Each structure stands twice: as structure tokens, then as C-alpha cells.
């Protein structure tokens, strides 16, 4: 068995890619979640039904299936391959971020909607009375729902980070992709994947700690406000 220190530098090379996929996926997911939350809050006749269908589809199917559909699916259609979109859809990195963002957007929307539903209706009426538009009212309600959103959203961030490991299935050399390649070269499975798991554990620990600090500051802000 080779000393585990020999494997660590190789695996650490994938941390940057993992964080890029995670951060980009979270950003895309946040944009999607805010848009879907606004649609559901406004109860737009057709758009609300489409949003509910989107949430059902994305939360009801495995992320791995979604990654495969986004990466391999478009190649089945010639009109897609002949369009401008193929420039992006043929790139594994883009497809991984897109699939992860779409998935995160659905779950984050559920979090936002649940937190908003828990806010008394009188607050919405107060926003209307002050002449706020829909986006302003939603922004105020989200800030007041922060106490409920932050702990749950921190869990979603951790899940997205762990879900980024599935990007290795479409040949992206992040932490898990490098671990698989290293294991194929050394057959030192226990040490290689144990180290990969430890790296994910450290990253998740740091994220959890940062969100705990953010939660404390948010609660302090609400108390002072």
C-alpha cells in the first residue's frame, strides 16, 4: 500500500473544479428558485402549473439521471447539434452545472415557498399598503423568512457539493473523477476513496461552519431590527 500522502496532491487538484461546479450550480439554482417562487406566489394560471410540473420532475428523479439526460440527450437531435446551443451542450462542464443548477433550483424553491407560506398574511397586506411591487414584496418576505431559510439552505448547499461528485460520470476530473482514475492506476481503493471522502468531509465542514456564522449574523440583524 502506497503512503496516502502520495495520493493527496493529485486529489487536491480536483478541489478547484468541484468548487467551480458547486458555486455555479448554486448560483443558477438560486436564480431558478427565485423565478419559480415568484411564479408560484403570483399563482399565474399556466406558469404556476408548469412550475409545479418542473418541481415534480426535478425533485422526483435522481440527479444522475438528470445529468445523463442533459449531457447525452441533446446529441440525439440533429437540429440541436446544428444550433448555437450545441456549442455549450457538448461541453461536460456546462452540462454538469446546468443539471446541478436545475436540480438545486427545484429544491431551493421548495425551501423558499415553505418559508414564505409560514409568514403571516398580514405582512403581505402591509407590503401592498406601502405600494411595493411584487418583487419588492417578495424580497421583504424572504428577508423575514431568513431564520427558516438559512439552516435548510445550508443543507441544500452541502447536498449540491456532494452531488457535484456525479460530474465524474461524464468525464469531468473533479475530486471523484481523479479518485476513480487514481484507483484505476493503483487499485488502492480503500486509501484513494477514503481520502476523497475526507476531502469532501472537510469542505462540507467549512461550508457548515460558514453558514452557522451567517445564521448568527442574520438572527442578530433581525433582533436589532
Q: What is the predicted pLDDT for the residue at 144?
A: 73
Q: What is the predicted pLDDT for the residue at 4?
A: 73
* Residue ranges covered by each domain of the chain: 4-224
- CA count, 13 A, side-chain hemisphere, 2: 14
**Dihedral of alpha carbons 71, 75, 79, 81, sign:** positive
Distance CA 150, CA 175 (A): 27
pTM of the shown model: 0.88
User: At 83, phi and psi to the nearest 5?
Assistant: -100, 170
Highest mean pLDDT among 22-36, 102-116, 147-161: 22-36
Q: Does the pLDDT value for residue 2 go beyond 70?
A: no
Q: Does the pLDDT value for residue 58 go beyond 60?
A: yes
Residue 119: all three cell numbers together:
409568514
| CATH number for the domain running over 4-224 | 1.10.3720.10
What are the start-end ranges of the H helices in the chain? 8-12, 15-42, 45-60, 63-72, 78-81, 86-89, 92-117, 121-129, 134-144, 146-163, 175-186, 189-224
Convert the pLDDT of each residue in 115-160 to its tens digit: 878 777 777 677 777 777 777 777 777 777 777 788 888 899 999 9
Q: How many CB atoms lie within 10 A of CB 112?
A: 26
Amino acid at each position: 500500500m502506497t503512503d496516502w500522502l502520495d495520493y493527496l496532491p493529485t486529489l487536491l487538484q480536483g478541489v478547484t473544479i468541484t468548487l467551480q461546479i458547486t458555486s455555479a450550480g448554486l448560483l443558477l439554482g438560486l436564480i431558478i428558485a427565485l423565478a419559480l417562487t415568484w411564479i408560484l406566489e403570483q399563482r399565474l394560471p399556466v406558469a404556476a402549473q408548469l412550475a409545479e410540473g418542473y418541481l415534480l420532475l426535478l425533485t422526483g428523479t435522481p440527479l444522475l439521471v438528470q445529468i445523463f439526460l442533459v449531457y447525452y440527450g441533446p446529441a440525439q437531435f440533429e437540429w440541436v447539434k446544428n444550433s448555437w446551443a450545441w456549442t455549450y451542450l457538448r461541453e461536460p462542464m456546462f452540462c454538469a452545472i446546468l443539471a446541478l443548477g436545475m436540480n438545486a433550483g427545484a429544491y431551493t424553491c421548495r425551501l423558499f415557498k415553505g418559508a414564505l407560506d409560514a409568514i403571516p398574511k398580514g405582512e403581505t397586506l402591509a407590503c401592498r399598503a406601502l405600494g411595493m411591487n411584487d418583487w419588492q414584496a417578495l424580497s421583504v418576505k424572504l428577508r423575514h423568512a431568513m431564520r427558516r431559510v438559512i439552516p435548510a439552505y445550508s443543507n441544500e448547499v452541502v447536498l449540491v457539493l456532494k452531488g457535484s461528485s456525479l460530474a465524474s460520470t461524464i468525464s469531468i476530473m473533479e475530486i471523484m473523477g481523479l479518485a476513480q482514475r487514481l484507483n484505476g492506476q493503483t487499485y488502492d481503493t480503500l486509501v484513494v476513496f477514503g481520502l476523497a471522502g475526507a476531502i469532501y468531509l472537510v469542505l462540507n465542514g467549512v461550508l457548515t461552519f460558514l453558514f452557522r456564522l451567517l445564521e448568527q449574523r442574520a438572527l442578530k440583524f433581525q433582533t436589532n431590527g
